[in-house]
């Protein structure tokens, strides 16, 4: 396996071609191999990758712990629903609505980021968490006095994505083959995810990305070096929120139905877990984290079958066990790889250095004694 | 005015429960700088264990007075929660003490998920009602109606807070805890067994949480496997409001948050001219929290941290 990977690393073009073929064929492999429900899971994997990449800008790059990230996802989704559903009778095309939704979420990112600029660490975490909850509670209750969000019932009949005359909402029949909408959304989401990955990778090494890293490591020193910390922190919030809003719009079009249920604090925490588990600040790690944490709960649906096969009957309801095992997986993965599964090179160095520094300090202490 | 006094009383009762849970968050944070996300779930387990014991006792000895049954429930719940917190710290947090800061946060979330789902497997998805064992005497004071249970909760909470304050300020263990919070390394050099102090911190917090869990389920007459989540969130907010890491701050923050919430729920409709109803209660609490933190970034009683590298 390692040899194959090494030889691929030496032939980037071949690797790129293989990856392209794999990504293009993936829904068909999953769909025909495991069933069409797995194509839907793939779609969600891509949405979560998009979300994780967005949150990684805020948490991984700029070091601002945000526990209310899902609010931007919600804003993007609700804006899509307002502009493209029977709720207000508006049916704008998705390429108009998506950018508006992303910009709307980005604007809220700045609005919510502004009061938090002076806060550090966990104070920031609790304030962002509060904002996330406030937005969810408003979504839940703004069906009166005027019906903006339809309250806990949520909004449905949201328009599917439509490109020219081709609607993503209906299955396609082709030579006796039926392709459900999940296939088309896969390619749409893939395009957006690849774009997001590209932007995030380019950002990382840019002037802005380096400034964020400086703020993350030491805000005072960064400010002393002439970095405008206020604007850059706001920019991080705005960019992260924009990705969140984009993912939210895609989610609304894909599901056709949204309700405040989908935007709870647990979702924010889940996305945060993805990036910490995968390896914060490192894009491949973040992607891996999003893939794992979306797939594991789905794969755990099979424990019912597993129990039937090994014990003869279902002892514990699999849906009850699923989240329990998810928690166990989260804890054990973190215990084995505290820096994440694929830590960034810099973080790996820091992690190694920390122990070294401690030993050095200890050594000098003993020297003083002797 | 009647409503005002009534809501103030309700708020103080709720606030003293928040304060008790917040103490657990703030003590752990003071020493480890860790948001112990699982603390809310420990509270829930306390309530569940106590309710189980109460149920068993009521079946086995129906003649026992109600107060004794509830006390027995609390007395079993406390050591159960202490053992649980000890195990959580040992398994999920201790190995990660030198890891990046967010790693133990994720295990804390994982532990929280595990406990919630374990509780769901053991006690089921339905609400468990708290049997009517406690006397239901009511007092009338300035137009407000106050139950005996409310008075007991507030008094007991104040006693626990005073006890904890004495423990931290006057005892040897308390001194070790304060030293560890200031600097783990130096405390260790001074002969403090840091691991034991950290364990003790978790255990004390859990004991208080167990009592708070029983209080909250007795107060609302209900317990549920999910109850720890929102309670924990509110309590953590209270700890931050008061200045996290500060024990007096957690008490103040808890009481304040409870009162704000109760008054907010009572008056939000009037303030906004009926635009927002009482289901915006949670929003109100968060708005106040954000407002306070914007003007005092390290909480009400938190020390101002200098900008240092």
- CB contacts of A265 in chain B (<8 Å) are 233
Average pLDDT, chain A: 82
- Work out the average pLDDT over B18-46: 91
Q: Is the pLDDT of residue A365 over 50?
A: no
- Work out the average pLDDT over A93-111: 89
Q: Is the pLDDT of residue A361 over 60?
A: no
Q: Is the pLDDT of residue B39 over 70?
A: yes
pLDDT digits (tens, 9 = 90+) for B6-23: 888 889 999 999 999 999
- CB contacts of A138 in chain B (<8 Å) are 283
Q: Indicate yes or no: CB of A326 within 8 angstroms of CB of B92.
A: no
Q: Indicate yes or no: CB of B297 within 8 angstroms of CB of A120.
A: yes
Where does the pLDDT of residue B275 fall: very low under 50, low under 70, confident under 90, or very high at 90 and above?
Answer: low
Please give the residue of chain A at the shortest CA–CA distance from B107: A331
* Residues in Cβ contact with B294 at an 8 Å cutoff, skipping those fewer than 6 apart: A115, A116, A118
Q: Report how many domains make up chain A.
A: 1
Select the residue from B283, B287, B302 to test the A interface by mutation, using most A Cβ atoms within 10 A: B283
Residue B113 near residue B223 (C-beta atoms within 8 A) = no
pLDDT digits (tens, 9 = 90+) for A290-308: 998 888 888 877 777 777 7
Candidates 1.20.1330, 2.60.40, 1.10.3470, 3.10.450; CATH matching B2-295? 1.10.3470
Could you tell me where the beta strands, DSSP code E, fall in chain B?
128-129, 138-141, 144-147, 222-223
- Work out the average pLDDT over A16-33: 80
Of the given ranges (A1-10, A205-214, A254-263, B68-77), which has the lowest mean pLDDT?
A1-10
Nearest to A133 among B109, B120, B282 (CB): B282
Q: How far is CA B31 from each of CA A198, A241, A351, B160, B215, rounded to the nearest angstrom?
A: 41, 33, 21, 20, 27
Where does the pLDDT of residue B189 fall: very low under 50, low under 70, confident under 90, or very high at 90 and above?
Answer: very high
Top-confidence range, A111-115, B106-110, B195-199, B297-301: B195-199
A340 within domain boundaries: yes
Q: Indicate yes or no: CB of A331 within 8 angstroms of CB of B114.
A: yes
* Residues in Cβ contact with B163 at an 8 Å cutoff, skipping those fewer than 6 apart: none
- Work out the average pLDDT over A120-129: 79
**Would you state the pLDDT for residue A48?**
93
Of the given ranges (A87-101, A310-324, B99-113), which has the lowest mean pLDDT?
A310-324
**Would you state the pLDDT for residue A72?**
93
**Would you state the pLDDT for residue B274?**
60
Q: Is the pLDDT of residue A144 over 80?
A: no
What's the rounded Cα separation, in Å, for the pair B261 and A67? 22
pLDDT digits (tens, 9 = 90+) for A244-255: 999 999 999 888
> Containing H/E element for B6?
helix B2-32
- CB contacts of B280 in chain A (<8 Å) are 137, 141
Please give the residue of chain A at the shortest CA–CA distance from B118: A324
A25 within domain boundaries: no
Q: Indicate yes or no: CB of A265 within 8 angstroms of CB of B233.
A: yes
A5 within domain boundaries: no
Top-confidence range, A62-76, A166-180, A273-287: A62-76
Exposed/middle/buried for residue B39 (C-beta within 10 Å: 0-12, 13-18, 19+): buried
**Would you state the pLDDT for residue A217?**
84
**Would you state the pLDDT for residue B307?**
46
CA dihedral A259, A262, A266, A271 (to 10 degrees): -140
Q: What percent of chain A has pLDDT over 90?
A: 21
Nearest to A276 among B103, B275, B305 (CB): B103
Residue A345 near residue A353 (C-beta atoms within 8 A) = no
Exposed/middle/buried for residue B277 (C-beta within 10 Å: 0-12, 13-18, 19+): middle
Exposed/middle/buried for residue A263 (C-beta within 10 Å: 0-12, 13-18, 19+): buried
Average pLDDT, chain B: 86
Where does the pLDDT of residue B201 fall: very low under 50, low under 70, confident under 90, or very high at 90 and above?
Answer: very high
Antiparallel, parallel or unpaired: β A155-156 and A162-163:
unpaired
For the record, the structure tokens of A91 come out as 């049916």
A78 within domain boundaries: yes
Rounded to 5 degrees, φ, ψ at A34 are -115, -10
Q: Which residues pair with A172 in a beta bridge?
A: A179
| Other Cβ atoms closer than 10 A to A3 | 7
Where does the pLDDT of residue A355 fall: very low under 50, low under 70, confident under 90, or very high at 90 and above?
Answer: low
Pick the more confident residue, A25 or A241: A241
**Would you state the pLDDT for residue B216?**
92
**Would you state the pLDDT for residue A280?**
79
Closest-CA distance, A152 to chain B, in angstroms, reads 12
pLDDT digits (tens, 9 = 90+) for B120-172: 989 888 888 888 877 777 887 777 788 888 899 999 999 999 999 999 999 99
* Residues in Cβ contact with A368 at an 8 Å cutoff, skipping those fewer than 6 apart: none
**Would you state the pLDDT for residue B77?**
94
Pick the more confident residue, A326 or B46: B46
For the record, the structure tokens of A20 come out as 């392209």
Closest CA to B41 of B72, B87, B3, B98: B87
Residue A158, helix vs strand vs coil: coil
∠ CA A216-A218-A224, rounded to 5°: 120
What's the rounded Cα separation, in Å, for the pair B16 and B158? 8
Could you tell me where the beta strands, DSSP code E, fall in A94-146?
none
* Eight-class DSSP state of A161: P
Q: Is the pLDDT of residue A65 over 70?
A: yes
**Would you state the pLDDT for residue A67?**
86
| Other Cβ atoms closer than 10 A to A340 | 30
Where does the pLDDT of residue A180 fall: very low under 50, low under 70, confident under 90, or very high at 90 and above?
Answer: confident
Residue with tokens 């160095």: A349
Kindly list the domain boundaries of chain B, sorted by start residue.
Answer: 2-295
pLDDT digits (tens, 9 = 90+) for A221-231: 998 989 898 89
Where does the pLDDT of residue B44 fall: very low under 50, low under 70, confident under 90, or very high at 90 and above?
Answer: very high
Q: How far is CA A310 from each of CA A146, A262, B202, rounded to the nearest angstrom?
A: 55, 35, 40
Q: Indicate yes or no: CB of A354 within 8 angstroms of CB of B98.
A: yes
- CB contacts of A219 in chain B (<8 Å) are 307
Select the residue from B28, B32, B39, B106 to test the A interface by mutation, using most A Cβ atoms within 10 A: B106
Rounded to 5 degrees, φ, ψ at B119 are -65, -35
| Domain membership of residue A354 as a residue range | 36-369
**Would you state the pLDDT for residue B276?**
63
**Would you state the pLDDT for residue A350?**
59
Of the given ranges (A40-49, A100-109, A344-353), which has the lowest mean pLDDT?
A344-353
């Amino acid at each position: 396996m390692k040899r194959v990977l090494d030889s691929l690393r030496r032939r980037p073009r071949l690797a790129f071609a293989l990856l392209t073929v794999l990504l293009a064929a993936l829904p068909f492999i999953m769909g025909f191999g495991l069933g069409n429900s797995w194509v839907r899971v793939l779609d969600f994997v891509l949405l979560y990758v998009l979300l994780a990449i967005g949150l990684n800008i805020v948490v991984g790059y700029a070091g601002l712990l945000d526990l209310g990230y899902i609010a931007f996802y919600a804003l993007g989704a609700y804006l899509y629903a307002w502009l493209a559903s029977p709720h207000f009778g508006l049916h704008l095309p998705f390429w108009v609505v998506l950018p508006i939704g992303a910009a709307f979420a980005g604007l809220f990112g700045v609005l919510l980021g502004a009061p938090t600029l002076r806060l550090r660490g966990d104070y920031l975490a609790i304030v962002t968490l509060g904002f996330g909850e406030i937005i969810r509670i408003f979504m839940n209750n703004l069906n009166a006095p005027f019906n903006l969000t339809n309250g806990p019932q949520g909004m449905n009949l949201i328009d599917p994505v439509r490109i020219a005359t081709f609607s993503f909402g209906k299955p396609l029949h082709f030579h006796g083959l039926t392709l459900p909408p999940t296939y088309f959304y896969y390619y749409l989401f893939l395009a957006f995810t690849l774009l997001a990955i590209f932007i995030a990778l380019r950002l990382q090494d840019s002037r802005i990305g380096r400034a964020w890293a400086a703020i993350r490591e030491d805000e005072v020193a960064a400010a002393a070096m002439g970095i405008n910390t206020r604007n850059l922190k706001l920019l991080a919030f705005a960019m992260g929120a924009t990705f969140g809003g984009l993912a939210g719009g895609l989610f609304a079009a894909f599901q056709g139905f949204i309700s405040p249920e989908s935007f709870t604090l647990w979702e924010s925490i889940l996305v945060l877990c993805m990036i910490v588990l995968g390896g914060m600040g490192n894009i491949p790690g973040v992607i891996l984290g999003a893939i794992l944490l979306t797939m594991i709960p789905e794969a755990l649906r099979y424990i019912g079958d597993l129990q039937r096969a090994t014990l003869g009957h279902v002892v514990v309801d699999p849906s009850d066990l699923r989240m329990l095992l998810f928690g166990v997986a989260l804890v054990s993965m973190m215990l084995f790889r505290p820096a994440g599964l694929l830590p960034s090179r810099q973080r790996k160095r820091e992690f190694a250095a920390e122990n070294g520094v401690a030993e050095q300090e200890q050594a000098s202490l003993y020297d003083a004694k002797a | 005015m009647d409503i005002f006094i009534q809501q103030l009383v309700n708020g103080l009762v709720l606030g003293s429960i928040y304060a008790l849970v917040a103490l657990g968050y703030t003590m752990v944070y003071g020493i480890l700088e860790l948001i112990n996300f699982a603390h809310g779930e420990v509270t829930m387990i306390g309530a569940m264990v106590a309710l189980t014991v109460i149920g068993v006792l009521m079946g086995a000895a129906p003649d026992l007075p109600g107060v004794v049954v509830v006390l027995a429930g609390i007395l079993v719940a406390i050591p159960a929660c202490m053992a649980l917190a000890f195990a959580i710290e040992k398994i999920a947090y201790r190995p990660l003490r030198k890891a990046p800061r967010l790693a133990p946060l994720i295990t804390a979330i994982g532990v929280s998920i595990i406990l919630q789902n374990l509780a769901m497997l053991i006690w089921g998805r339905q609400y468990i009602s708290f049997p009517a064992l406690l006397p239901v005497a009511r007092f009338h004071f300035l137009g407000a109606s106050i139950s005996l249970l409310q008075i007991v909760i507030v008094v007991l909470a104040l006693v626990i807070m005073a006890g904890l304050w004495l423990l931290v300020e006057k005892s040897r263990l308390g001194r070790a805890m304060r030293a560890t919070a200031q600097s783990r390394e130096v405390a260790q050099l001074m002969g403090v067994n840091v691991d034991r102090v950290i364990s003790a911190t978790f255990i004390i917090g859990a004991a208080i949480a167990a009592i708070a869990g029983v209080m909250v389920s007795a107060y609302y007459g209900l317990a549920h496997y999910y109850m720890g989540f929102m309670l924990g969130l509110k309590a953590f907010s209270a700890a931050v409001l008061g200045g996290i890491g500060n024990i007096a701050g957690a008490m103040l923050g808890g009481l304040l948050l409870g009162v704000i919430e109760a008054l907010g729920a009572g008056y939000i409709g009037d303030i906004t001219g009926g635009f927002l109803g009482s289901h915006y209660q949670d929003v109100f609490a968060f708005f106040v929290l954000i407002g306070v933190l914007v003007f005092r970034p390290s909480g009400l009683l938190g020390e101002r941290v200098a900008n240092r590298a």
